[in-house]
């Protein structure tokens, strides 16, 4: 039998993925979830106009999608009042992150992130042989000053910063983020992940400046637009950086139905405003449920609420398991001291009612 010759890098990577998907959990139990509150999806669903557009596009699914995502890029350019040359559409932020790391990071190159931040970014860096350097959070927030210092110390190719933040739901003001952008070390690209920006208060996102070649900003249709199942997001950056993606990206990676759905969703800002209002109410409800059960809901600028259990990671893991045993899907941060918490997606009233019912039962079990 011939030998399959994997790369040394692949052979030395752990046989793990950043997240175990909810479907895998359901297969393990053989039961559906009563409330799916662990993946930061939008249980409020997509715009009816987006659904209609996707239904119409379904009959054209025999054709590949537009490799340039032209119509969506033009619409995004108008929406943000920037040039289409400053926009890249890709297979969700995860897909764009993978291509960005491939484009920028050679084996051994330094990359800086926060310890406990979005693990899929780390997964891509490890997969291309980059050297991760991590900075601890400060008071449940990412620490811009410490991240900048570490990037300078190690000569980082990439500096990853998520605002608002996953998994804690915290955020920094536009003023602080802009100061961070202005202080990025020479030779470092700031990866500003703004996946949750549609859930954040006014004054969270600094103004777009597409002339700055040291920052790339990432947005998605997976969260408040309710299109996580399509895997479609976009990046905003300087035109020369965006153009470089054409050398390595999967040109037909975004399908026709995804492009049609995202375009219609973008045009329906009324629906987005409705979801934002429902989200505000759901976060308030989750804070009340937490307080009623002796937990503390951290302030959130995302579509989830992180709840401090007041104990340690072992206790929080037992609580997650007890909730899962009652068919309520939630997740928790991976790294101490954040792993004292659980993370619950904000959803429709019916899902919030299930969580309110099950949480005290789960707490009694542990």
CATH code where residue 79 lies:
3.40.640.10
C-alpha distance across the termini of the chain, in Å:
51
What integer is the mean pLDDT of 51-80?
A: 98
Neighbours of 169 (CB within 10 A): 27
Co-location of 197 and 319 in the same domain:
no
pLDDT higher than 90, residue 1: no
Last residue of a domain, one of 223, 251, 267: 267
Mean pLDDT of the chain: 97
Q: Which of 267, 302, 330 is the last residue of a domain?
A: 267
* pLDDT at res. 2: 67
* Structural domain harbouring 106: 48-267
Indicate whether 25 and 169 sit together in one domain.
Answer: no
pLDDT at 18: 84
Residue 192 shares a structural domain with residue 133: yes
Q: Domain with 23 in it: what CATH number?
A: 3.90.1150.10
- Asked if 157 contacts 104 with a C-beta cutoff of 8 angstroms, the reply is yes
Q: Tokens 């202005």: give the residue.
A: 182
Give the mean pLDDT of 67-88.
98
Residue 227 and residue 83 share a domain: yes
Q: What is the pLDDT of residue 274?
A: 98
Please calculate the CA angle 331-334-339 and round it to the nearest 5 degrees.
Answer: 80
| 3 domain residue, yes or no | no
Residue at which a domain ends, from 237, 267, 297:
267
Q: pLDDT of 7-36, one tens digit each?
A: 999 999 998 888 888 999 999 999 999 999
Q: In the chain, pLDDT over 90 holds for what percent of residues?
A: 97
364: confidence class by pLDDT, cuts 50, 70, 90: very high
Cβ atoms of residues 196 and 186 within 8 Å: no
- Asked whether the predicted pLDDT for residue 203 surpasses 80, the reply is yes
* pLDDT tens figures, 218-265: 999 999 999 999 999 999 999 999 999 999 999 999 999 999 999 999
Same-domain check for residues 215 and 343: no
Q: Say if CB 346 and CB 275 are below 8 A apart.
A: no
Distance CA 275, CA 163 (A): 20
Structure confidence by residue, pLDDT tens digits, 111-167:
999 999 999 999 999 999 999 999 999 999 999 999 999 999 999 999 999 999 999
Q: Which residue has the tokens 């340039």?
A: 68
277 & 234 share domain: no
Mean pLDDT (whole number) for 270-286: 98
Looking at the structure of the chain, the number of domains it has is 2
């Amino acid at each position: 039998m011939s030998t399959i010759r994997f790369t040394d890098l692949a052979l030395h990577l752990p046989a793990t993925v950043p997240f175990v998907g909810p479907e895998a959990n359901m297969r393990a139990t053989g039961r559906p979830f009563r409330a799916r509150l662990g993946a930061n999806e939008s249980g409020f669903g997509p715009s009816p106009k987006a659904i209609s557009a996707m239904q119409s596009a379904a009959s054209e699914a025999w054709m590949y999608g537009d490799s340039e995502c032209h119509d969506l890029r033009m619409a995004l350019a108008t929406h943000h009042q920037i040039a289409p040359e400053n926009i890249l559409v890709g297979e969700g932020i995860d897909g764009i992150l993978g291509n960005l790391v491939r484009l920028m990071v050679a084996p051994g190159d330094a990359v800086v992130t926060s310890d406990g931040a979005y693990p899929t970014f780390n997964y891509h860096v490890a997969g291309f042989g980059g050297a991760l350097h991590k900075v601890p959070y400060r008071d449940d927030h990412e620490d811009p000053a410490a991240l900048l210092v570490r990037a300078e110390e190690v000569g980082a190719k990439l500096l990853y910063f998520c605002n608002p933040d996953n998994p804690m739901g915290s955020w920094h003001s536009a003023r602080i983020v802009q100061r961070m952008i202005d202080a990025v070390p020479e030779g470092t690209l700031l990866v500003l992940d703004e996946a949750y920006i549609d859930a954040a208060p006014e004054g969270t996102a600094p103004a777009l400046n597409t002339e700055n070649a040291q920052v790339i900003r990432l947005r998605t249709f997976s969260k408040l637009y309710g299109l996580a199942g399509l895997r479609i997001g976009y990046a905003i950056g300087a035109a020369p950086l965006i153009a470089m993606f054409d050398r390595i990206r999967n040109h037909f990676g975004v399908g026709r139905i995804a492009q049609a759905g995202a375009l219609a969703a973008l045009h329906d800002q009324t629906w987005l405003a409705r979801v934002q209002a429902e989200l505000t109410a759901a976060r308030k409800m989750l804070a009340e449920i937490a307080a009623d059960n002796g937990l503390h809901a951290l302030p959130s600028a995302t579509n989830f609420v992180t709840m401090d259990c007041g104990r340690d990671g072992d206790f929080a893991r037992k609580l997650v398991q007890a909730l899962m045993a009652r068919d309520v899907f939630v997740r928790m941060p991976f790294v101490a001291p954040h792993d004292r918490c659980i993370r619950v997606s904000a959803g429709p009233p019916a899902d919030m009612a299930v969580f309110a019912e099950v949480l005290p039962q789960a707490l009694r079990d542990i």
